[in-house]
Amino acid sequence: MNDLSTKQVTFTLSATDGMARRGRIDTPRGDIQTPAFMPVGTAGTVKAMYPEQVRETGADILLGNTYHLMLRPGAERVASQGGLHDFMDWQRPILTDSGGFQVMSLAQLRKLTEKGVTFRSHIDGSSYELTPERSIEIQTLLDSDIIMQLDECLKLPAEYKEMERAMELSLRWADRSKTAFNNQRNRALFGIVQGGDNAELRARSAQGLKSIGFDGYAVGGLAVGEPQEVMFKVIEEITPELPTDRPRYLMGVGKPDDILGAIGRGIDMFDCVHPTRAGRHGHVYTRFGVINLKNARHRDDSRPIDEASPNPNCRRWSRAYLHHLVKTEEILGAMILSQINLAYYQELVQGCRGAIEGGRFSDFAAETRAAWAAGDL
Ligand SMILES: CN(C)CCSCc1cc(N)cc2c(=O)[nH]c(N)nc12
């Protein structure tokens, strides 16, 4: 294990093209090229994928999930096994969410107070308390490389007063998170901008986080049921308020079209369960759009997914075979389609990185969308 004690986490912005940004995050466990897509490994595994397969798709970093891991197997148990990297044998960077989002969406009997949130596990009903301080402690026990403040994320639409209350609570929790973080230099702490779909609340949140000071800034409270145009409007309004020399992470986003649009509006990092979950449900992402392999029209189609793809798995099997695997719910179907979807997401962000470097991001985005629209699926 390399010496993680002295190095620190830094961000270098190397090129811009309009609002789109090309950069690199250096961490003690390796570099993250941005714009970056982070596969989700909720319970210490990217479902149906070996860690080395995740790396081979081009991923520099993956996501762990504090809520799930604190319930099972427990943060102290993961720490006693050497931390999450050794536990799952992924030796590159890991980002962990703070757990608040999953508590509000998954746990039972939640009680939110100024101190934090108490809840009962959706697994066995046992009770837990998650505070800003405990969330930092758990993410540090997991030995995560990028950790998130505890925040309150509201679903949209929401009343102004509710959005203001949750934003102001999240700011107070941001301050407590920063104090509890205690300036650890071998990992980064990101603040999370809240404020719903209100520009003034969002600006107040960003201003408050900047005055506390974070290694990166996440845009939370989106991908929570709002239309894409509302999400893009909030991003357009908030990215100019964020420091240019720190990474910007749009949480829980998204489909390829969401990611392309958000990169064009100044976002650097993304995570979403969509590519792996869609793969397990028979939906495969290609350069020409998404194919629902459950559809009977594929059962006699001898064509591969995409014979011109750089991904061998897109050329190796027929659509008829993949349709068969999906219909019979064979495990291999989930494995193959998860790999194809993650590899496509990495191909997309890699294409964005090259286009930004070449000053042709808007052309690249237009060409990509045209291929999705014209696709002979
Ligand atoms: C697997 N991922 C979905 C988990 C990481 S991102 C979870 C997540 C998703 C969304 N959409 C909004 C928020 C938010 O506002 N705050 C936090 N802490 N997490 C969020």
Instruction: List residues with catalytic annotation.
Output: 97, 271
Using CA atoms, how far apart are residues 167 and 220, in angstroms rounded to an integer?
A: 10
How many whole angstroms from 8 Cα to the centroid of ligand 1?
25
Q: Tell me which H or E stretch contains 369.
A: helix 361-374
How many whole angstroms from 63 Cα to the centroid of ligand 1?
11
State yes or no: pLDDT of 1 exceeds 50: no
Using CA atoms, how far apart are residues 210 and 192, in angstroms rounded to an integer?
A: 11
Ligand 1 in contact with 273 (CB < 6 A)?
yes
Shortest-distance Cα residue to atom 4 of ligand 1: 252
Residue 2: Cβ-neighbour burial (10 angstroms; 0-12, 13-18, 19+): exposed
Give the pLDDT confidence score for residue 318 in this predicted structure: 98
Using CA atoms, how far apart are residues 302 and 209, in angstroms rounded to an integer?
A: 54
- Ligand 1 atom at minimal distance to the Cα of residue 99: 18
Ligand 1 in contact with 17 (CB < 6 A)?
no
Of 237, 189, 246, 176, the closest CA to residue 11 belongs to: 246
pTM of the model: 0.97
Give the pLDDT confidence score for residue 7 in this predicted structure: 57
Task: Taking each helix axis as running N to C, give the angle between helix 331-357 and helix 319-327, from 0 to 180 degrees, rounded to the nearest 10.
Answer: 130
Of 135, 147, 132, the closest CA to residue 63 belongs to: 147
Q: Tell me which H or E stretch contains 105.
A: helix 100-106
Using CA atoms, how far apart are residues 39 and 299, in angstroms rounded to an integer?
A: 30
- Ligand 1 atom at minimal distance to the Cα of residue 40: 1
Distances, alpha carbon 215 to alpha carbons 106, 114, 163, in Å: 28, 25, 25
CB within 8 A of 214, min separation 6: which ones? 149, 174, 178, 189, 190, 191, 246
Using CA atoms, how far apart are residues 29 and 46, in angstroms rounded to an integer?
A: 19
Q: What does the pLDDT average to over 329-346?
A: 98
Q: Tell me which H or E stretch contains 108.
A: strand 108-112
Q: What does the pLDDT average to over 122-126?
A: 93
- Ligand 1 atom at minimal distance to the Cα of residue 223: 11
Give the confidence band of 6 by pLDDT, cuts at 50, 70, 90. Answer: low
Give the confidence band of 342 by pLDDT, cuts at 50, 70, 90. Answer: very high
Question: Across the chain, what does the average pLDDT equal?
Answer: 96
Q: What is the pLDDT of residues 178-193, one digit of tens each?
A: 999 999 999 999 999 9
Give the pLDDT confidence score for residue 3 in this predicted structure: 53
Ligand 1 in contact with 259 (CB < 6 A)?
no
Using CA atoms, how far apart are residues 228 and 231, in angstroms rounded to an integer?
A: 5
Which of 112, 251, 267 should be mutated for ligand 1, with most atoms under 8 A from CB? 251
Phi, psi (deg, nearest 5) at residue 185: -95, -15
How many whole angstroms from 252 Cα to the centroid of ligand 1?
5
How many whole angstroms from 308 Cα to the centroid of ligand 1?
35
Distances, alpha carbon 147 to alpha carbons 115, 128, 150, 278, in Å: 19, 20, 10, 27
Give the pLDDT confidence score for residue 20 in this predicted structure: 98
Q: What is the pLDDT of residues 25-84, one digit of tens each?
A: 999 999 999 999 999 999 999 999 999 999 999 999 999 999 999 999 999 999 999 999
Ligand 1 in contact with 117 (CB < 6 A)?
no
Q: What is the pLDDT of residues 206-221, one digit of tens each?
A: 999 999 999 999 999 9
Helix (H, G, I), strand (E, B) or coil at 173: helix
Ligand 1 in contact with 223 (CB < 6 A)?
yes
Helix (H, G, I), strand (E, B) or coil at 81: coil
How many whole angstroms from 98 Cα to the centroid of ligand 1?
9
| Length of the chain (residues) | 377
Give one DSSP letter per residue of 26-62, joined into a string: EETTEEEEESEEE-B-TTSS-TT--HHHHHHTT-S-E
Q: What is the pLDDT of residues 317-334, one digit of tens each?
A: 999 999 999 999 999 999
Shortest-distance Cα residue to atom 7 of ligand 1: 252
State yes or no: pLDDT of 288 exceeds 50: yes
Using CA atoms, how far apart are residues 59 and 342, in angstroms rounded to an integer?
A: 9
